[in-house]
Amino acid sequence: MSIGLNIVDWLIIAMYFGFVLGLGWYLKRFTKNQEDFFLAGRKNSPWVAAIAFLSANLGALELLGMAGNTYKYGMYVAHFYWIGAVPAMLFLGLYMMPFYYSSRIHSIPGYLKLRFDEKTRVLNGISFAIMTLLVSGINLYAMALILHTFLGWNWDLAMWISAITVACYVTMSGLMSAIFTEIVQFFLIWFGLFLVAVLGLVEIGGVKELFARVPASYNTLWSTSGDPSLNGMAITWGGIILGLGFVLSFGYWTTDFLVVQRAFSARNLRAARLTPIFASFPKMMVPIIVVLTGLIALVLAGDPSKGFSLLMDNGQPNYDSTLPLLIARYYPHGLIGLGISALLAGFMAGQAGNISAFNTVWTYDIYKSVLNKNASDAHLLWVGRMATVVGVVLSVGTAYWAKGFPSIMDYMQAIFSWVNAPLFATMLLGMFVWWITPSGAFWGLICGMGVSITMFLGVKFGWIDSNTITLSSQGSDMAANFWRAWWAWLVCFGMTILISLFTKRKPKEELVGLVKGLTKEVSLDPVPFLKRPEFYAILSVIILVLLNIYFW
C-alpha cells in the first residue's frame, strides 16, 4: 500500500525537518559547557521540563505499538497509561527527585556511585546504554517501516534520513535541543493525531455507540481481571498491580534516565519535583490517541460495510498498521502530511531522548568513570558530541537487527524486565535503608537481572512452562513479562538485604544527602498549598481514581 502525497503534504514534511534542524543550529550558540549540553543548563520551567519528560516517552512503541495492542487487547492497554505510569510519576516527584536533584548528579548511575560504589554504577551504565541503543533502533526501524510501507519510500533511505537528522540536532546542542524539539513534537503529535479519534467517533456515532459495539471483554479495565480467560491479555489483577503497576512502572519512571534526565533540567528543586507531576496529567490523556483509535479500528474492521481491515503479513494481521491506516482513511491531502509529520515527530522524539540519555551515561558513567578519570569539562563536551554520532550509527545497526524480528515488542518488554525491574529494588533500598551495602547492591542487582534473563530464555526454549511464572493455567507473553518483572524485583530485593547483613556498610557520614532519614529535609520556597507539588499530586490521584472507576 502507498498513500499518495501531493505538494502540500511534502512541503509540510519538509518544513518539519527544516524546523528541527534550524532549532538545533540556533540553540548551539547557547551550549557553551558540559552542563548546558548534558543538563540543558538547568534553566527550564516545570511545564517545559514536563512536556519534554512526557514527549521523550512518546516514541514508536507508544504510538504505533499501543494503538495496535488496543486492537488486539482492548481497554486493558489503558493500564499502561494509568496504573502503569501515574503512581510512579508522582512517587518520583514527591520522594525521589529531592535525592536526585540536590546531589547534582548527571545520571542515575551517578547516584549509584555515590550511594554504593563504582562497580554498581558501571554495571547499570553498561546495561542502560545497551537498552537505550536498542530502543533508539526500534524507533528508527518503526519510522522507516511506516515510510516504506505506507508512502513507498526506500526503506534504507528513510532510516538514514531520520538518523542523520537526529544526530545533527542532538550533536549541536545536546539535551537542550532535544528538549525544545520534544516540546514542538509533543504539540505536533496532538494536533496531527487527535483528529483521527474525533473523525472516527463521528463515523461510528459517538463514544457511547463505540463502546456498545466493542466486545464486552474489550471495554473494561478491571471487571474481567479475576479470570485470565475473560480478557485478551490473559492476565489477572495480581499481575497488573505487582508486575505492571509496581515493578515495571516504578522501575521505568523512577530509574530510567531517559525520562528522569528531563526533570534534571528544571531550574530548581521545586520545578524538578513538579516536572513528573505535571506530566502525569497529559499522560492520562494519551489513551485518547492510542486506545481510542485502536477501538475505532476494531469496530470498523468488524463491520464489513466499512471496508476497513489491517494489513496482513504472512497471513497474520499487522497490528502496528492500525494508526497509519486510520490516517489514510480520514485525512485529505495536506492533513496527510501533518499526520505523517506527527508520526515522524513521535519516532524522532523517542530516538532523540534515547540518544541524549546514551551520550550522558556513556560520557560520565563509562568514559570518565573507567577510561579517563581526569577528563576536563571541554573534553567531556567533545566526548558527548562524539558519543551522539556513534550512538546514532549503532542505533542504525540495532534497527537492522530489529527488522529481522517481527515480535520486537515482546523483546522490548522483556528487556525492561531485565534491566529496570531489579534496578528499582536497588534504588528503593538504597534511598530508604542506610545499612544496605555496596556488595549487597551489586550482587543483588546481578541476581535479579540473572533471574529475569533465565526465566525469559527458559520460556523461549521450553525449559520452563510460562504458566509457572504467571501462577495461572493461562498466560500470554504480556502476562509473562509482567510476572517476570515481579520475580526479578523480588529476588533482587531479597538478595540485596541478605547480602547486606553480612558485608561491610558505608559510614552514615558518607550517606548524608543520599538516604532518607540521614538527609536534612530541603525547604522549598514558601508558596501556598495550591501551588505545591503535593496539591497537584492529590489532584492527579483523584483523576486517576475516577478514570479507573468509570471504565471499571
Residue type, 493: F
CB atoms under 10 Å from CB of 397, counted, come to 12
With a cut of 60, say whether residue 37 has pLDDT above it.
no
Residue 182 has pLDDT above 70, yes or no: no
Q: What is the spatial distance between Cα 197 and Cα 181, in angstroms, rounded to a whole number? A: 25
The range of the structural domain enclosing residue 256 comes to 7-21+44-550
Cβ neighbors of 229 (< 8 A, separation 6 or more) are 474
Assigned domain for 364 exists: yes
**Residue 430 host element (H or E):** helix 408-432
The reply to whether 29 falls in a domain is: no
- 440 or 173, higher pLDDT: 440
3-state SS of 42-69 is HCECHHHHHHHHHHCCCCHHHHHHHHHH
Answer whether 58's CB lies under 8 Å from 343's CB.
no
> What cell numbers appear for 297 in the block?
479500528
Amino acid at the residue 540? S
Q: Does residue 351 have a pLDDT over 90?
A: no
Between CA 100 and CA 301 the distance in angstroms is 48
Specify the residue for cell string 521540563: 49
- Would you state the pLDDT for residue 490? 93
The Cα 47–Cα 544 span in angstroms is 20
Whether 122 is covered by a domain: the verdict is yes
Percentage of the chain with pLDDT > 70?
79
- Is this structure's pTM higher than 0.95? no
Do the Cβ atoms of 139 and 354 come closer than 8 Å?
A: yes
Of the pLDDT bands very low, low, confident and very high (cuts 50, 70, 90), residue 21 is: low
Alpha-carbon gap, residue 341 to 223, rounded angstroms: 38
Does 33 fall in a domain?
A: no
Q: Could you give the dihedral angle defined by the CA atoms of residues 538, 541, 545 and 551, in that order, rounded to the nearest 10 degrees?
A: 140
Give dist(CA 153, CA 391) in Å, integer.
24
Is the residue at 224 inside a domain? Answer: yes
Q: Residue type at 320?
A: D
pLDDT band at 409 (very low <50, low <70, confident <90, very high): low
Residue 2, in any domain of the structure? no
Window from 175-184, 243-252, 430-439 with minimum mean pLDDT:
175-184
Output the domain CATH number for residue 118: 1.20.1730.10
What percentage of the chain exceeds 90 in pLDDT? 11
User: pLDDT tens-digit profile of 79-107?
Assistant: 889 998 899 999 988 887 877 766 655 56
Rounded to a whole number of angstroms, the CA Rg of the chain reads: 23
Position 388 in a domain: yes
Task: State pLDDT tens for residues 375-397.
Answer: 777 787 777 778 777 877 887 77
Q: What is the pLDDT of residue 404?
A: 59
Q: What is the DSSP string of 297-357?
A: HHHHHT-GGG-----EETTEE-GGGHHHHHHHHH--TTHHHHHHHHHHHHHHHHHHHHHHH
Residues 6+ apart with CB under 8 A from 468: none
In a domain, 31, yes or no: no
Does the pLDDT at position 40 exceed 50?
no
| 106-115, 285-294, 468-477: which is most confident | 285-294
The total of structural domains in the chain comes to 1
Average pLDDT score over the chain: 78
What are the tens digits of pLDDT across the range 235-256?
A: 888 888 888 888 888 888 887 7
Does residue 106 contact residue 360 with C-beta atoms inside 8 Å?
yes
Query: What mean pLDDT is predicted for residues 133-152?
Result: 72
* Dihedral (Cα; 428, 243, 190, 532), 10-degree rounding: -30
| pLDDT at site 524 | 60
Whether the per-residue pLDDT at 440 is higher than 90: the answer is yes
**What digits encode the pLDDT tens for the residues 497-540?**
999 999 999 998 888 878 877 766 665 667 777 778 889 999 99
Q: Which residues contact 51 (CB under 8 A, 6 or more apart)?
A: 182, 183, 186, 279, 282
Q: Closest Cα to residue 479, out of 465, 493, 492?
A: 465
Range in 133-142, 267-276, 421-430 the model is least confident about: 133-142
